[in-house]
Structure 1
Amino acid sequence: MGRGRPRSSVDGLTVPERLVRAATELFAERGFDATSVQDVVEAAGVTKGAMYHYFASKEDLLFAIYAPVLAMQTARLEKVVSEPDAVERRLHDAAADVVTTSIENLAPSTVFFRSLHHLGEEQQRALRRDRRRYHEMFRGLIEDGQAAGIFRREVSADLSTQYFFGAVHHLPFWYRPDGRLEPREIGAEFADMLLAALRPGS
């Protein structure tokens, strides 16, 4: 690649896409600290100049690995929340979806949670803000169900949300692609367990 603006795509992928994919694989395999910028650009098949055209640092690459996943999950949750279905159905859909999409994006999610502390303060604040908004929308579904008398009022909606997402964040420690259940089946079972814990009489 010569001087100036790098080619917009290589082998059907944009240069940023190649860099993010290479960084995801290397950070997962070696860890963030043990991976150099040179390692990333060599794996992506681009030059350092091309990388720095799009990303100012390894930390920017780390941010770019996870931010699109969270944005995608948030857009899907917004759609579920706005549906006219009963709140119990919407919460089940939301819970199943975040588990399924987390499994389908396990590599970027795992890399991110292992390396979050490497991000700059502003990037960490931005992601925490967006994650907090996601959790608040999810918690709102539980609160709506409690207000309607569908879910138990004595159960903390906030603790229920934190407990559920604690289980979601633990997925990388045990999920295996060759396991007995498909991602959507796991998502459905997680959602079933959450609703069972919230229903009166449980």
Structure 2
Amino acid sequence: MEAFRAAWPFEGEAFWQTVFEMHKDKMQIKNPRVAIVNLEKIFTATFSLTTEKGFQAMSLRDLSSEAQISMGGLYSYIGSKEDLASVIEGVLRACIDKVVAGLNRANLEPVDFLRTLIFSEIYMVEVLRPWYQFCFMEVKGLPRSQQQQTLELELRFEKSLIEVFEKGAASGVFSCTNPQLLASQVTAQLEQWHLKQWKFKLRGVTNDDYAQFIFDNLMRCLR
């Protein structure tokens, strides 16, 4: 986990700088020093209010009060709740893409790639838990176009799994007759961990325990 945190700056000032760079063209505030402080306030408040009352029930006035930013100041960063949801989905999508692209550049063998992908997915969601939970718990309350974008996040990860299954099968390392179905099964197991982690923690299961369990089961399916 610590190695993942060191490799991928998905926390702290560096992360909020990335959020600013991704969306600065849509904001009125162009000073990064000012913007990154307030972006952190806005999104932290959004996740807090969403947990408390749900995104649908949250108003921008609620957000202004929770973030301690005036309504005028808030509109300098976001134009609507839909804009806010779009940014959250976009940030999570960009983080997933960065991790997968990094693994592809490493040119790992299929078994090593698969293990690293599983562990990285669990670590990434642990670090970005509020962003993940927003996308997958609030999806029903989003406009249809944003619902589709959020659902595509799941398909992006499945695509990476399918590709490594097929690559391993082509090289004779894996035996897999239905990579699409296997990828869907793995995704469902990971979502169970992310969305109902309390149940596993009651049993003393750690991130590493669960990641290793998923990987070991996968290897049994692929051989």
Settle same-fold status: TM greater than 0.5: yes
Which of the pair is proportionally richer in helix? 2
C-alpha spacing 1:7/1:42, structure 2 compared with 1 (3 Å): farther
CA distances 1:9-55 after superposition (whole Å, capped 9, x unpaired): 79995222211111011102211122221111111110111222211
Task: State the SS of the aligned residue for 2:138.
Answer: helix
Would you say the 8 A contact 2:139–2:150 is kept in 1? Answer: no
User: Does 1:137 pair with 2:160?
Assistant: yes
More displaced stretch, 54-63 vs 130-139 = 130-139
State the aligned residue count: 194
User: Does 1:84 pair with 2:107?
Assistant: yes
Counterpart Cα distance in 1 of 2:145 and 2:30: 30
Would you say the 8 A contact 1:95–1:191 is kept in 2? Answer: yes
Query: Structure with the greater relative contact order (CA < 8 A, sep ≥ 6): 1 or 2?
Result: 1
Q: After superposition, where does 1:182-201 map in structure 2 within 5 Å?
A: 182-199=206-223
Counterpart Cα distance in 1 of 2:105 and 2:69: 43
Query: How far does residue 94 in structure 1 lie from its aligned partner after superposition?
Result: 0.5
- State the AA in 1 paired with 2:167: D
Task: State the SS of the aligned residue for 1:166.
Answer: helix
CA-based RMSD: 2.7
Structure 2, unaligned stretches of length 5 or more?
A: 1-27
Aligned sequence identity (%): 19
C-alpha spacing 1:94/1:147, structure 2 compared with 1 (3 Å): same
Task: State the SS of the aligned residue for 2:107.
Answer: coil
CA distances 1:143-185 after superposition (whole Å, capped 9, x unpaired): 101111221132x111111111112222244213955233233
Counterpart Cα distance in 2 of 1:53 and 1:138: 40
**TM-score, normalised to structure 1's length?**
0.81
More displaced stretch, 28-37 vs 121-130 = 121-130
User: Does 1:170 pair with 2:173?
Assistant: no
More displaced stretch, 14-23 vs 102-111 = 102-111
- State the AA in 2 paired with 1:174: K
CA distances 1:49-74 after superposition (whole Å, capped 9, x unpaired): 12222112112222323432231122
**TM-score, normalised to structure 2's length?**
0.75
Tell me what 2:46 maps to: 23
Deviation above 6 Å: which 4+ runs of structure 1?
9-12
